Structure formats: C-alpha cells, structure tokens
C-alpha cells in the first residue's frame, strides 16, 4: 500500500471511530453527523437533507445535528458509499443506480422503462413496495447501511456533444457515460451506443475532452453540474426513472438510542416529501436555463423503438425480479 493511501485509510478509520463513539461518552453528548451529496448547494436533495438536520437539531436542543458536504467534497458516489459503510460519513444521499451492485434486490428499479412515468414511480416509493425495498437495503449484510427514505430524481434522458437524438439510429456509435452498474452498460449497448462506466465526478471533464460523447441524467444534473455547457443536445428518452435513497451508516446507527433513531426516521420521511416539491420546481428551472443557453431539447415522438431495443436487458436481468416487476406494474 502506498504511504498516502495508508494515511488516507488511517484518517478514514479514525473518523469512523469518532463517529462510532456512544453519545453518552462524548463531550456534552453532542453528535454532528457528516452528510454527503455529489450535487451542489441548492440542489433539492441537498436542501432537504440540510432541513432534516435543522429539524433534528431543534428536536434535540442541539445534541444531534447534521453538517452537509455537497459538491462531491468527500468524494464521488462509490467513495462516499464506502466511507458511510465504515462510519466515516454518517448520512449519504446516493443513487439507487450505485446501490444496485451492493444490494442486488433493489436493482429491479434500475430496469429501463420499468415505470410508466415519474408519478407511477412516486406512487411505488411512497407505498409498501417502497418500504420493502428500503428494508432490503437495511437488512443486507453487504451494505452496512440503514435506508431512511427515498428522494425523487426525475427521469433520465440522453445528452451529447455530437448531434440531436431523435430516433434510436442516432445513438449508434456514440460513447455514453453510465453509472457503474452492469444493467446500465448493457442498456446503453442495446440502444446502439457504447456504455462507459465512469464516476459522476469525472463526467464534465470527459465531455469537454471528448473521452465520452455524452451521458444520461435528469435535467437538473445536466444543467447544474454544467454538463449542458459542453453537451448541447438533450433528448427526452426518459429511459430510466431511478430513485435516490437517503442512507445512514449502520455502524453509527447502532450507537444511537431508539428515540433518536425514531426521530431520524420521522424527519427522513418528511424530507422525502419535501424534496419532491423542491424537485419539481428545480427541474423546470433547469429546463428553462438549458433552453436560454441555446441547448436543443429534443422531444421523442415515438419511444417504442427504444423500449423494444432494451428487450435483451429485460431477458437477461428481468427473470430474477419477475415477481417484484409484476407487483410494480400492477400498481396504478
């Protein structure tokens, strides 16, 4: 192991140990939970988590509070998941796309064109299926995480630097960044592109330098991470509707009393609903900003060819999630 890696590991473990100290053993019993998000200040998930922290501080007279680290300050999604697992970070908002390789059961919601629309996805996440999926994350021995609630992230669409994508044939030969999950790589390849797994923190520079031709994400991520300045063509394929999940380090969770755990669960549920309202406004703001900057927003007249193209992905991954897929599609 390189010396700098050893130092980083030691620092992380030291922070984890600090995070795991029982509240009663700390000075005045105060705990400040580190919260991480790859998105910038003002982003709905960031704001909702910050408001959760304020409610927690008010309810505990400052004994428990949250310090938010937005804009990938503590690393990309992969790195911050690992830090949360060891307790160096206590609270994390992360895409289910990144969680799927860790908790296979929740990969079901990463299937392309699973949900009819965002309203259908919200209905699922607010109901018993949503709670069941959260429980699967919490129960997973691989995760080391407690799933507190969902957050909306809209529908994901394709954007690129080369040309408007109006038909599926327009994707052919383009290199698109996807989250590092085999489902997404196979999905992009099935659509005729070349799926390139890459951390979110690398996407902007990769678009600028031509390492990739495009990526896929929701409008706020496209705009407020400045990807729209490099990739002017945004095509509304809406091929994925992937929820976000707010998780807590299980190692830190076990040091909390039952009342404190209940408070976190309560405020997380409130954050789930609050973030949704923030999201709807933010998404419209992003689209307006992209149009004002001269980006070409392409409506897809017929999504059927895109849906048909990903059939091999469903054939490969769908059978093991067959029961859950049936339940999801039966809702509404």
Each residue's pLDDT tens digit, 177-235: 999 999 999 999 999 999 999 999 999 999 999 999 999 999 999 999 999 999 999 99
If one counts every other C-beta atom within 10 angstroms of the C-beta of residue 14, the result is: 11
Give yes or no for residue 27 having a pLDDT over 70. no
Give yes or no for residue 155 having a pLDDT over 50. yes
Q: What is the pLDDT of residue 28?
A: 54
Map out the domains of the chain with their CATH numbers.
Answer: 8-153+242-284 (3.40.190.170), 156-241+286-330 (3.40.190.170)
Q: Which two tokens stand for residue 117?
A: 């629309």
Give yes or no for residue 295 having a pLDDT over 50. yes
* Nearest residue to 305 (alpha-carbon basis) of 171, 210, 198, 195: 171
The answer to whether 172 and 194 have CB atoms below 8 angstroms apart is: no
Give yes or no for residue 25 having a pLDDT over 70. no
Residue 256 and residue 245: Cα distance in Å, rounded? Answer: 21
Q: What is the pLDDT of residue 332?
A: 87
Give yes or no for residue 22 having a pLDDT over 70. no
Give yes or no for residue 140 having a pLDDT over 60. yes
* Nearest residue to 162 (alpha-carbon basis) of 175, 149, 177: 175
DSSP calls for 47-70: HHHHHHHHHHHHHTTTSEEEEEE-
Give yes or no for residue 24 having a pLDDT over 50. no
Each residue's pLDDT tens digit, 50-97: 999 999 999 999 999 999 999 999 999 999 999 999 999 999 999 999
Q: Percent of the chain at pLDDT above 70?
A: 92
């Amino acid at each position: 192991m390189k010396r700098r890696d050893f130092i980083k590991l030691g620092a992380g473990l030291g922070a984890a140990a600090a995070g795991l100290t029982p509240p009663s053993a700390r000075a005045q019993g105060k705990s400040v939970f580190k919260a991480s998000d790859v998105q910038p200040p003002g982003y709905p998930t960031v704001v909702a988590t910050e408001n959760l922290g304020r409610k927690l501080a008010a309810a505990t007279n400052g004994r428990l509070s949250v310090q938010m680290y937005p804009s990938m300050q503590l690393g990309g999604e992969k790195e911050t998941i690992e830090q949360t697992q060891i307790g160096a970070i206590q609270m994390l908002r992360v895409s289910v796309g990144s969680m799927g390789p860790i908790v296979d059961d929740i990969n079901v919601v990463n299937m392309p064109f699973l949900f009819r629309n965002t309203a259908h996805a919200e209905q699922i996440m607010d109901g018993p299926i949503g709670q069941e999926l959260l429980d699967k994350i919490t129960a997973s021995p691989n995760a080391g995480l407690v799933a507190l609630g969902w957050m909306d992230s809209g529908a994901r669409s394709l954007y690129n630097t080369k040309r408007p994508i109006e038909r599926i044939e327009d994707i052919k030969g383009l290199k698109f960044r996807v989250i590092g999950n085999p489902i997404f790589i196979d999905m992009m390849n099935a659509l005729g592109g070349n799926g390139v797994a890459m951390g979110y923190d690398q996407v902007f520079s990769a678009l600028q330098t031509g390492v990739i031709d495009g990526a896929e994400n929701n409008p706020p991520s496209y705009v407020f991470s400045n990807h729209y300045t490099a990739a002017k063509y945004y095509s509304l394929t809406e091929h994925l509707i992937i929820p976000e999940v707010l998780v807590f380090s299980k190692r830190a969770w076990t040091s909390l009393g039952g009342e404190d755990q209940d408070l976190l669960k309560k405020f997380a549920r409130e954050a789930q609903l609050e973030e949704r309202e923030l999201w709807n406004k933010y998404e419209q703001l992003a689209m307006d900003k992209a149009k004002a900057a001269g980006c070409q927003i392409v409506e897809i007249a017929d999504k059927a060819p895109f849906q048909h193209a990903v059939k091999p992905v469903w054939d490969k991954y769908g059978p093991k999630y067959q029961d859950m897929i049936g339940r999801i599609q039966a809702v509404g």
